Amino acid sequence: MSVRTYENRETKRRNADVKMRIEALHEALDHGKGWLSEEVVSRSEQQLAIARGRLRQSLDHTVVALAGPTGAGKSSLLNALAGRQVSKVSVRRPTTSQTMAVVWDSSVEGRGHASKLLDWLGVAERNYVTEEAPNSPNTEGKRSVLNALAQTRSGTAGGDAGAKRRDSDVPKAVSSPKKHKDLLNSGLIVVDLPDFDSVVSQHRVRADHLTARADVLVWVTDPQKYADAIFHHEYLRKFKSHTDMLVVLNQVDRLSAKEKEQCLSDIRRLLVKDGISGATVLATSTTTGEGLSELRSLLEIASARRAAQGNSLIAQLRDCGRLIAEECGSVPSRTDSDQPKAQLVESLAQAAGVNAIVDAVYDSSLRRSHIATGWPLTSWVARLRKDPLRNLGLASRWLPQVTKSRAPQTPLSDEVIIPTSRSSRAGADAATLARTSQAVRAYVDAATHGAPIAWKLEVQRDLKEIDLSDELDSVVANSPSIRLSRPRWWGVVGVLHKVFLALLIAGLVWLAVLAIASYLRLDVSNTPQWMGFPIPTLLTLGGLSAGIVLGLVSRIVSIVYARRISSRVYSQLQSGVEELAHRTVVLPVREVREKREACLLAALVAGR
Amino acid sequence: MDNATSEPEANEPGVLPQGSSWGQGSLSQATAHAQALLSDVSFPLETVDAEKARETQRHALHQITDYVQPRLQNEQAPVLVVVGGSTGSGKSTLINSLLSERVTLPGALRPTTRNPVLVHNPRDAQWFDSLRILPTLAREVGTRGKDLTGAIPAALSAPSARAGDAADALASNTLPSNTLPTTPVPPVSPDLPDAPASPSSPVANRGTQELRVVPSDSVPSGLALIDSPDVDSMVDSNRQLAQQLLAAADLWLFVTTAARYADAVPWDTLRSAVARDTEVAIVIDRVDPGAMDVVTDLRSMLDAHGLHESPLFVIEEQELQDGLIPAPATAHIAQWLTWLMVAPGERDRVVAGTRNGAVESLARTIEELAVHVETQLRAQKTLVDIADGAYAHAYESVRAATSDGTLLRGEVLRRWQDYVGTGELMRGVEEKIAALRDRVSAYVRGKSAAPKVQQAVGDTLYAVVKDACDRAAEETYRGWFAHPAGKSFAANTSLATSSGNLHDLLSQEIRGWQAGILELISETGAEKRTKARALAFGTNGLGVALMIVAFASTGGLTGVEAGIAGGTGIAAQKLLESVFGEDAVRKLARDAQADLERRMLAVIEQEKLRYVRPLEVLGLSQEQGTALRRSARQLHAGVASLVQSPRKASTRADSDELPESRFQDRDKVSQAAKWFGGAGDAYLASQDSVESYAGAILYGTAGIGSPASASPLSNTTQAANGSRSNSESAEEPGRASRAPTWWKKLFGGQRQDNEQ
């Protein structure tokens, strides 16, 4: 009982495993459909359909497919297993064109399930082994039972010299009830497939259909055909990940004992060459009954464990998963380096002319500041030069003079800006366009380095539609950071300049009055003095020198100020560009890469 | 070639010169011509049919060197009977049994025969001691059954090491004595392009595939048997070798078994035999007694496949005696082969039939290859078109950018404005002051703005062309990747981007263009009276103005663009015109633009070459296809004329030389005692006439069987045959009545002969 429970638990676990793999494969396909190769996708989809279909059918039944080349003796083997002639045996090739199933299940309910399962498989002809089978096994233990079974009617199974032929008077036998019952209720279904190598090509189609859906594959071959290219290249290798395979060398009665051993070891060698490790090799003969008991008990065990159903599905799903994983390329390194992104932002900023704007802001700020804080007698010259920002078409972002005392965050300037306005600087000019796409291309190249080509091309195609140059332009043109404010110290310096200018003018006027007075010989000798110097002279010289010094000092301060302003503008533009790059390039690329990773992970799960 | 001159005649069989000029000699010439053509053709592009085309080509070349040429040059060379068939069908055993001698090595392990064995009569040695036939296979001479027995254990114990062993043996001892590097140069010594074999060193490059040549008295003179590898072998090279040998045969002895006779692979091979009219005889081996259904079934399958005339020999499953099938079971095959050799006209019929069929099929193959050549050409064109389209688009976009003024926005514009000040340079006095001031300040700061403009122009141009090239590369790569033939090229991932030296090339061309413009300016400035004015602005300044004018000159600028770029362009143009005059400026702009276009086109073409050149060096040409078709027509015409003339010749020979002889060749008949361990001789002795040997199904006797037990078998067959075609059933009564006599004579006395 406990064994039963354990087996149930095992079965549940296995079915859960199958379901998980189905989910994983489905997910992998979902993520990878755009770029996975067509054959892999179609094979996986087909396999998914098969797995889902099989899961919906009875898992208490184990479908064993007897597959093999024409004339290997599949039908004779089935007859021997069934204990009576269920399948037509003939010397003509190819023989079996209709598939035929033998079901070991005594319960009515079980047979109903089996019937549905066979419907799904597309096997029309069914035979139910009943207890009243005419040739029931005898009591002498399994081996002799099967020997007897094997001898039943096998004389017609083409392929024996007349001398070895036995009569069909098989000893009547009674089974040991328990064993017999076990097999009867085992839920074993053996299907005899058409050949896959004859001139009748429909047989091959049928055989392919069923080998893809069977739970246990029994490859039946014979001493003549065991090394056929088609058998190894197109069949065995296709199923190399199956664990529950059996390779049966039938008709060994044609070989001497030594030859048999040689053949068997040669088959094992070929199987290793095919990459198959999990197959059991068995020598049988329906004529002498050799090996049939082993075959039968192997099948019995397989059906009793109820493991083959899951295992074959797992093997096939695993194959698909591995194929997909192979096409996904290696696991991408998680060192998501910032290097390509930094380069992208840098290149985009350059394409957008951020440096030029920053230069212009610097120049503009310096000019403005020069006008405001330079020595009034010379600073007017600066007005003659055009504002560099105006050259870029960004002059409207210059705060009007009336707002000089307001905070930089004043909304007024925003009202001036037409948000969609395009700076005259760029437009969709060819150079920006070219540089932008260069930057994006370089980024995609770096981000997809080492990935499969098909996927790379897919990513490139996805990103091709993005036209960054427009957005880039609007990011730069509408950046609020380019608004320049009038700092307070400009006003102070301006006032000081006016005071110094006034002093200078007062001094000059005073001196002029004194000069005129002395010209007119008026007595101006008692000019007020301060520390021995005449005050008008002091006023003139003081006003002049203070103005010049203040001009020079404020020039230095202006430079520092302009630098600060421009670096602020730079960082703000840069972050704007970065935000744009992130949104339009980095994120989509990451998204598709994550999709690939998800595909790969799912495929790895399915192919584990 | 002289074939080319005779080509018009080939097109019109009606005006063919009679007999002599269109005999085998000229057909041989036509074949040599076809061979030369075929070796020149290649299928380098991985189109869907390329693999098949290469296979076909290889096959056709083999057929020419292995069979068609030798046969056309020596009609009297021995008939080559290739014993081929499925793996494990008992080919080697059959040959050994026929000859009562172990010349080849049978075994239970598959695949058995690795190296083919050729058995011939010692009298025919002169035909086989050269590389006349099968020149691609190395020769190993004289290994007989006795020597062979020593090799068996090694072969069984270490099948995988055998190839290496054989090569070693070949290199150490066997090579100097037994192989034939020093034999006289064979009559035909064609160089095969795909098999790197040359007559001077026949062994060097052959790998381990070799042909063992064994003389044996048991083989009728004028006949040679080859034991071929399996047609469905697991080993690819064996499979190919089998096909090659079958293609070299005058007659196939195709061996199958009761278990295998419906396998698809051998039937594919048989179909190819039908397609090229090769003479085929079928042997069905290992037939269980009582499984005679198999035989009738196979017979009807053969008939359905158009092999009505092929005899079918039945050998029953039986105990081997000393590794050989008992002689009676194979006697009918021996008899048939003997009969073929001695019956008047039979041998020639077989040889001529297979030869004509082979040449016909060669002609068809060549036509097929011509189609493949065209497929290759189409694929090449598609690939080139993809590259052409992508790069034409690239050039178009570069040209558009450099002429419609879009290049003038952005950095160039900014630098230009920096340079000229307000951008409204010519509008008033104020601007002149500004310009003056700019230039003064530029002078004071020690740097001129003009090189900056030039730099900006260069950078922009670079970016635009580079981007266009990258885009084109990507587009081409994408297109090629999606195309089956392009996919193999796409494995070279460097094709996904523009080339590594694009940077250098492009920078060089841009610098060249700018240097050219400055030169143009200084030339134009020097030869005019305008020199002073030109000097006032400086060559650099005028140069950048010209660059800008060149960019904007043909552009139909509209709206805002005209306001910006056009303004720039107009400003520059006015500046230039003020110096050089209107006409000169127009000419300058034209020259500058033409030079730019020329240089950019050169760069783009250079980039395109990376894709186009590998395709061009493939050497595909329309000529090849045409030449192949012409050659195929020649061959067709040659065969057509052969079919008429030799028939006359052979009837004449029969009637003139041996008017009343039963057998074609007295000399041969006297030899026949040794043939097939005497089986053939016994047959001949029994026969009054060898007019016909028409049997659709022929049974040997089982080892256990006596003539009495065998006759029921033949009776069932008669019944089965009764429903077959009229011509055959007409012959049935004669054979049926005669059968007891020769069965008895042959198989009754046979065994005693052997035992003596």
**CB within 8 Å: A199 and B289:** no
Least confident among A595-599, B70-74, B331-335, B654-658 = B654-658
Within its chain, how far is the Cα of B491 from the centroid? 23
Per the CB < 8 A criterion, the answer to whether A496 and A509 are in contact is no
pLDDT at B41: 86
Which one is predicted more confidently, B598 or B22?
A: B598
For the cut 80, the answer to whether the pLDDT of residue B750 exceeds it is no
pLDDT tens readout for residues A139-153: 333 444 344 344 433
pLDDT (mean) for B42-60: 87
Confidence at B687, pLDDT banded by 50, 70, 90:
low
pLDDT at B603: 92
pLDDT at A393: 65
Integer Rg of chain B from CA: 41
Measured CA to CA, the distance from residue B352 to residue B333 in angstroms comes to 21
Confidence at B434, pLDDT banded by 50, 70, 90:
low
pLDDT tens readout for residues B542-553: 787 788 777 766
pLDDT (mean) for B606-612: 89
pLDDT tens readout for residues B136-180: 887 776 544 434 433 333 333 333 333 333 333 333 333 333 333
Confidence at B415, pLDDT banded by 50, 70, 90:
confident
For the cut 60, the answer to whether the pLDDT of residue B515 exceeds it is yes
Q: Which of B301, B468, B481 sits opposite A453 (nearest CB)?
A: B481
pLDDT tens readout for residues A400-413: 433 333 333 333 33
Confidence at B748, pLDDT banded by 50, 70, 90:
very low
pLDDT at B673: 66
For the cut 80, the answer to whether the pLDDT of residue B412 exceeds it is no
**CB within 8 Å: A162 and B290:** yes
pLDDT at B50: 87
Coil, strand or helix at B294: helix
Measured CA to CA, the distance from residue B398 to residue B96 in angstroms comes to 78
**CB within 8 Å: A353 and B410:** yes
Per the CB < 8 A criterion, the answer to whether A296 and A257 are in contact is no
pLDDT (mean) for B180-193: 35
Q: Chain B interface, mutation test: which of A91, A154, A263, most B Cβ atoms within 10 Å? A: A91
For the cut 50, the answer to whether the pLDDT of residue A539 exceeds it is yes
Which one is predicted more confidently, A87 or A503?
A: A503
Rounded to a whole number of angstroms, the distance between the first and last alpha carbons of chain A is: 32
pLDDT tens readout for residues A336-350: 567 788 888 888 888
For chain A, the residue count is 608
Within its chain, how far is the Cα of A442 from the centroid? 21
pLDDT at B205: 38
Best mean pLDDT range from A387-391, A433-437, B76-80, B519-523: B76-80
Confidence at B729, pLDDT banded by 50, 70, 90:
very low
For the cut 80, the answer to whether the pLDDT of residue A430 exceeds it is no
pLDDT tens readout for residues B343-354: 778 888 888 888
Q: Which of A229, A270, A391 sits opposite B232 (nearest CB)?
A: A229
Best mean pLDDT range from A120-134, A305-319, B363-377: B363-377
Q: Which of B264, B294, B409 sits opposite A427 (nearest CB)?
A: B409
Compute the nearest-CA separation of A538 from chain B (Å): 35
Which one is predicted more confidently, A597 or B727?
A: A597
For the cut 90, the answer to whether the pLDDT of residue B385 exceeds it is yes
Q: What percent of chain B has pLDDT over 70?
A: 63
Query: Can you give B169-237 as a three-state secondary structure string?
Result: HHHHHHHHHHCCCCCCCCCCCCCCCCCCCCCCCCCCCCCCCEEEEEECCCCCCCEEEEEEEECCCCCHH
Q: Which of A92, A224, A385 sits opposite B257 (nearest CB)?
A: A224
Q: Which of A161, A226, A233 sits opposite B288 (nearest CB)?
A: A161
Q: Which residues of A touch B483 (CB under 8 A)?
A: none
pLDDT tens readout for residues A43-86: 999 999 999 998 888 888 888 999 888 878 888 888 888 887 77
Least confident among A93-107, B95-109, B484-498, B638-652 = B638-652
Residues near A294 by beta carbon (within 8 Å), at least 6 away in sequence = A282, A284
Confidence at B625, pLDDT banded by 50, 70, 90:
confident
For the cut 50, the answer to whether the pLDDT of residue B406 exceeds it is yes
Q: Which residues of A touch B564 (CB under 8 A)?
A: 424, 427
Measured CA to CA, the distance from residue B229 to residue B233 in angstroms comes to 7
pLDDT at A26: 92
Confidence at A164, pLDDT banded by 50, 70, 90:
very low
For the cut 60, the answer to whether the pLDDT of residue B193 exceeds it is no
The pTM for the full model equals: 0.73
Which one is predicted more confidently, B578 or A128?
A: A128
**CB within 8 Å: B88 and A224:** yes
**CB within 8 Å: A230 and B264:** yes
Confidence at A154, pLDDT banded by 50, 70, 90:
very low
Confidence at A24, pLDDT banded by 50, 70, 90:
very high
For the cut 90, the answer to whether the pLDDT of residue A587 exceeds it is no
Site of tokens 């192989």: B179
Residue A239 DSSP class: G
pLDDT at B714: 38
**CB within 8 Å: A438 and B409:** no
For the cut 60, the answer to whether the pLDDT of residue B422 exceeds it is no
Least confident among A24-38, B218-232, B634-648 = B634-648
Q: Chain B interface, mutation test: which of A429, A438, A445, most B Cβ atoms within 10 Å? A: A429
For the cut 50, the answer to whether the pLDDT of residue A173 exceeds it is no
Confidence at A481, pLDDT banded by 50, 70, 90:
low
Q: Which residues of A touch B318 (CB under 8 A)?
A: 161
Confidence at B399, pLDDT banded by 50, 70, 90:
confident
For the cut 50, the answer to whether the pLDDT of residue B364 exceeds it is yes
pLDDT (mean) for B273-302: 85
Measured CA to CA, the distance from residue A62 to residue A306 in angstroms comes to 7
pLDDT at B716: 35
pLDDT at B734: 36
Best mean pLDDT range from A179-193, B608-622, B736-750: B608-622
Cα pseudo-dihedral B315, B321, B327, B328, rounded to 10: -60
Measured CA to CA, the distance from residue B430 to residue B450 in angstroms comes to 21
Q: What percent of chain A has pLDDT over 70?
A: 81
Compute the nearest-CA separation of A197 from chain B (Å): 5
Compute the nearest-CA separation of B285 from chain A (Å): 12
For the cut 60, the answer to whether the pLDDT of residue B624 exceeds it is yes
DSSP, residue by residue, A510-566: HHHHHHHHHHTT---TT--EETTEEHHHHHHHHHHHHHHHHHHHHHHHHHHHHHHHH
Measured CA to CA, the distance from residue B659 to residue B665 in angstroms comes to 12
Confidence at B710, pLDDT banded by 50, 70, 90:
very low
Q: Pairing between strand A188-192 and B79-85?
A: unpaired
pLDDT at B156: 36
Per the CB < 8 A criterion, the answer to whether A67 and A238 are in contact is no
pLDDT (mean) for B633-660: 61
